[in-house]
Structure 1
Amino acid sequence: MTMRPPMYAYEPPPPAEEMEAEAGSPLDPGLPIAAEEDIVAALRSVHDPEIPVNIYDLGLIYEMKIAENGDVAVTMTLTAPACPVAGEMPDEVAHAVARVEGVGRVRVSLTWEPPWTPERMSEVARVALDMF
């Protein structure tokens, strides 16, 4: 009996160098720092290309920290380690946040722990995806 390879093979997460992205530049001293809601709006402007919902409402943003100098650190995940945009999404997120007035340098880190689950989605995402 001949064994066939599985139809869908597991793809490991991308290398560590693809799991972080940086954008922006230091904010000039004395300039006002961006409000959290402005940064959240920027995060909501980024969509997973395979799912018609933004990454914030999907629950892909695990943590967002705004430093006193306007620098922003974001920790995020994706819906699956084999996601085809794993290497691109952190860069897209970093640039979206860096465009917000009052933001300095932005660092986005991609993590797989804890794994994403649908329970992290907002009610808006659940309605959009008909997941009630």
Structure 2
Amino acid sequence: MADDMSLDPNVENAEQADASESTSPIPQDELNRLTDALIASFKTVFDPEIPVDIYELGLIYRVDIDDNRKVDIDMTLTAPGCPVAGDMPGWVENAARTVEGVDDVEVRLTFDPPWDPSRMSDEARLALNML
């Protein structure tokens, strides 16, 4: 795998792209660019009931960019009964596909571990008056 980024909105973007121990055909600068562009694309997707993007909410658990530029995304929802549960993974997939250099995308929905408000960034907490 080229890059496996554990996304934490409380960590600077440059620190999130950890190169794997194996040699990747994708240069590190390109992986960093893809990482930043994917994060920007995630920030365009909003839960319709919460005025904060899914990245800042902490709904993106894992993103892996393989050597063929396929992006695998593990994400969750704020609750299993979320009214957009059937739609949001598609929104995330579509957003990731807009990133130049991404050849394929697969989004997996997981509830393990369950989402809780501690996953939100300070920016999300501020927007929701939770600071």
Residue 46 of structure 2: aligned partner: 47
Residue 7 of structure 1: aligned partner: none
Residue 110 of structure 2: aligned partner: 111
- The alignment-based identity, stated in percent, is 52
Following superposition, the deviation at residue 68 of structure 1 comes to 1.6
Residue 68 of structure 1: aligned partner: 67
Number of positions where the alignment pairs a residue of Structure 1 with one of Structure 2? 103
* TM-score of the aligned structures, taking structure 1 as reference length: 0.74
Rounded to whole Å, the distance in 2 between the matches of 1:61 and 1:35 is 16
Following superposition, the deviation at residue 69 of structure 1 comes to 1.4
Residue 6 of structure 1: aligned partner: none
Following superposition, the deviation at residue 120 of structure 1 comes to 0.1
3-state SS of paired residue (1:74): strand
Following superposition, the deviation at residue 84 of structure 1 comes to 0.4
Equivalent runs, 1:84-99 vs 2, <5 Å = 84-99=83-98
Can you give the 5+ residue segments of structure 1 that lack an aligned partner in the other structure?
Answer: 1-29
Following superposition, the deviation at residue 57 of structure 1 comes to 0.3
Deviations 1:42-76 (A, max 9, x none): 00110000000000000000001111211100000
Runs of 4 or more, structure 1, over 2 Å off, are none
Rounded to whole Å, the distance in 1 between the matches of 2:103 and 2:129 is 37
3-state SS of paired residue (2:95): helix
Amino acid at match of 1:98: R
Q: Which has the larger radius of gyration?
A: 1
Residue 77 of structure 1: aligned partner: 76
Amino acid at match of 1:118: P
* TM-score of the aligned structures, taking structure 2 as reference length: 0.75
3-state SS of paired residue (2:56): coil
3-state SS of paired residue (2:78): coil
Larger RCO, structure (CA 8 Å, separation 6 or more): 1
Amino acid at match of 2:63: M
Rounded to whole Å, the distance in 2 between the matches of 1:69 and 1:40 is 19
Matching of residue 122 in structure 1 with residue 121 in structure 2: yes
Rounded to whole Å, the distance in 2 between the matches of 1:93 and 1:102 is 16
Can you give the 5+ residue segments of structure 2 that lack an aligned partner in the other structure?
Answer: 1-25
Rounded to whole Å, the distance in 1 between the matches of 2:84 and 2:106 is 18
